[in-house]
Structure 1
């Protein structure tokens, strides 16, 4: 199975890497049938702090039928995150994953485009909670029932509230795609308690 990691300009590396590492450990060390495919608007996406990443596919090349899940790391506004994360093509991809009941996993402000897409309306979710909760207020404006907890799961959508939660979200995604037992094997092998 494939997981699509959708990278908007200005995405945060710390929120991107756990999806690659956790799934990579599962595939490489334990033979789990999981492949991570990266995607952006261009072949090269500039992350927060100006680290370039070459992606596997551009957004126009995506056929959601090929993917079991969508992962969205958050990013920094001052590095252009919302310019692409709020683009209609980005939002439509989110809607398609949700309408096909595929798992959507976000870290930190990665929940905001999901909220803007309408997918989280009247559902429970969270996003960046520090700075007087201004990002959570933005999420609430999309009709979301904001929960101030580290990781919130509402059916097929996983959201979290800061970069520290990145590995927890990646493990939750692995668990949803495999099993609790298989996820625990990888988590233990990687030294997480």
Structure 2
């Protein structure tokens, strides 16, 4: 069984988290059965961007990072306090741990800024929220010199993406990395995406 740590910052976008629980959950029951998602936060209770309250299964202090095979991080809104958790050293240390082990790391939208802040995007290709009204790509330039104008960027074991609309594609790409292209296609078909 491959365990995926779904790392949630306060102020995360629920839709960006739910794609991982759904795609990897469908795989657990309808795909090859090899994935299990564990929701983890820095706190016992989190508030999503739009005031949806979530209770993660574990806090970072309750887990052994070596027990996990991959990391998934949804983005969120600054106005909802996302960066307070996402830029916290405990949060960043989780990212560094997975990077040191060369394990898959999947991020959606502005979650790539946490990857950048952790230091793992140096000499890597990456992207982040790319709407013309946003300054997030300028912010990412402080952490990454090779910013791509792509919806999704895969650089070795790291996935970054440009907006919430990429969420399902990121989750399916992570599933493919953890299982196989054929299995990811099978789950995608079962979920009505083909």
Aligned to 1:17, the other structure's residue is in SS state helix
Residue 70 of structure 2 contacts residue 104 of structure 2 at CA under 8 Å; is this kept in 1? yes
Equivalents in 2 of 1:61, 1:124: separation in Å?
Answer: 32
Equivalents in 2 of 1:144, 1:188: separation in Å?
Answer: 37
Alpha carbons of structure 1 residues 90 and 144: separation in structure 2 relative to 1, 3 Å: farther
Equivalents in 2 of 1:74, 1:83: separation in Å?
Answer: 12
For 1:110-134, what per-residue CA distance to the aligned partner results, in whole angstroms no more than 9, with x for missing partners? 1000001000011000000004451
2:64 paired with 1:86? no
Equivalents in 1 of 2:136, 2:10: separation in Å?
Answer: 18
Alpha carbons of structure 1 residues 131 and 62: separation in structure 2 relative to 1, 3 Å: farther
Residue 152 of structure 1 contacts residue 159 of structure 1 at CA under 8 Å; is this kept in 2? yes
- Report the Cα offset of residue 60 of structure 1: 1.0
Equivalents in 2 of 1:62, 1:130: separation in Å?
Answer: 36
Partner of 2:180 in structure 1?
Answer: 179
Alignment of 1:1-193 (within 5 A): 1-193=2-194
Gap runs ≥5 in structure 1: none
Equivalents in 2 of 1:108, 1:66: separation in Å?
Answer: 26
Residue 126 of structure 1 contacts residue 151 of structure 1 at CA under 8 Å; is this kept in 2? yes
More displaced 10-residue stretch of structure 1: 131-140 or 95-104: 131-140
Equivalents in 1 of 2:160, 2:144: separation in Å?
Answer: 15
**TM norm structure 1:** 0.97
- Report the Cα offset of residue 143 of structure 1: 2.8
**TM norm structure 2:** 0.97
- Report the Cα offset of residue 59 of structure 1: 1.1
Kindly report the root-mean-square deviation, in angstroms, between the aligned alpha carbons of the 2 structures. 1.0
Equivalents in 1 of 2:187, 2:79: separation in Å?
Answer: 35
Aligned to 1:49, the other structure's residue is in SS state coil
Residue 125 of structure 2 contacts residue 144 of structure 2 at CA under 8 Å; is this kept in 1? no
Residue 32 of structure 2 contacts residue 183 of structure 2 at CA under 8 Å; is this kept in 1? no
